[in-house]
Structure 1
Amino acid sequence: MPRNENPIEKTESLGHVVKVQQVIDFIVLSDLMNGGTRYHSEMEQHITKTLGGVGVNDAYFSQRLRALAEGGHVVRQWDGDNRYNRFYRITDAGEEYFKQLLRDLPERVNLAKKVYGLFDAHLAKYSKMSLK
């Protein structure tokens, strides 16, 4: 006898839901699409403002900015000798990556809303459970 006679077909993977790095990349690149350059701290504040007070861990944010620079999506420069005065500008490759995210993210955000809504309903089933 088979273990699962009626398997449920997987239509999506949780890995396909919006990733934090995509959210950060999109907000950074959208900020840089407005032209000019932005300092690390300005972009960090822009993320926090855009997400209603939800910010990004500084080390993780620095890692994402480094990855964007290594991927050729942004140019990273220093202002003077102070290593904390890093500023960034978008490249042509960054504009293409931004456009790709703009095409892909709406579908992923809708999937994330669906998944989190279903999970919220599942969580509610257990919210009155005693944890003692």
Structure 2
Amino acid sequence: MPRNEYPLSKQISLHNIVRVQQVIDFFVLSELQRGRLYGSELEQQIIVALGKQSPTNVGVNNGYLSARLKKLAEEGHVTRAWDGDNRYNRYYSITPRGHDYFKQLLKELPDQVDLAINTYTNFKHYIDRFGHIPLN
């Protein structure tokens, strides 16, 4: 039998299942639906949302969150402003363009999340297959 007589082809690459930037953008834009928030408040809301069913608090790297907030502002999805003279208290508000982007993410992300859950579940089973191999 020739090699790869019945090869499988990928329909999607692993890194395209759910992009971290989409997850962060979704969290930010969903929280800003309630009104303007400081960057630190957005970070806390992400920790709360991701840690609800977990014994471990999961968050996002501060530098990455700041970079995403800056990018969202550059793309016109959010506005950012300083609170008085304190350069560390920047607050964010969603724009009409941000509402449109949020709606787009709301359409795309559920299917991507389902695919990610399925993929990671299969990967967990694959890891379990090798759990009996000694690591020394």
Structure 1 gaps, min length 5: none
CA positional deviation for 1:16: 2.6
Name the residue aligned to 1:45.
Answer: 44
Aligned-partner residue type, residue 95 of structure 2: T
CA distance in 1 between counterparts of 2:63 and 2:128 reads 34
CA distance in 2 between counterparts of 1:120 and 1:68 reads 34
CA distance in 2 between counterparts of 1:81 and 1:127 reads 56
Q: 1:72 to 1:2 in 2, by over 3 A?
A: farther
CA positional deviation for 1:107: 0.3
CA positional deviation for 1:81: 1.9
- Large movers: runs of 4+ above 4 Å: none
RMSD between aligned alpha carbons? Answer: 1.4
Residue 18, structure 1, aligned to residue 18, structure 2: yes
CA distance in 2 between counterparts of 1:10 and 1:62 reads 34
Among the aligned pairs, what percent are the same residue? 55
The range that moved more, 112-121 or 17-26, is: 17-26
Aligned-partner residue type, residue 108 of structure 1: Q
Deviations 1:5-35, CA, capped at 9 Å, x for gaps: 211122222133111111111011001112x
- Count matched residues: 131
The range that moved more, 95-104 or 54-63, is: 54-63
Aligned-partner residue type, residue 91 of structure 1: T
Aligned-partner residue type, residue 49 of structure 2: T
Aligned-partner residue type, residue 118 of structure 1: N
Name the residue aligned to 2:54.
Answer: none
CA distance in 2 between counterparts of 1:92 and 1:109 reads 25
Name the residue aligned to 2:135.
Answer: 131
Residue 63, structure 1, aligned to residue 57, structure 2: no
CA distance in 2 between counterparts of 1:28 and 1:42 reads 10
CA distance in 2 between counterparts of 1:10 and 1:45 reads 37
Residue 90, structure 1, aligned to residue 90, structure 2: no
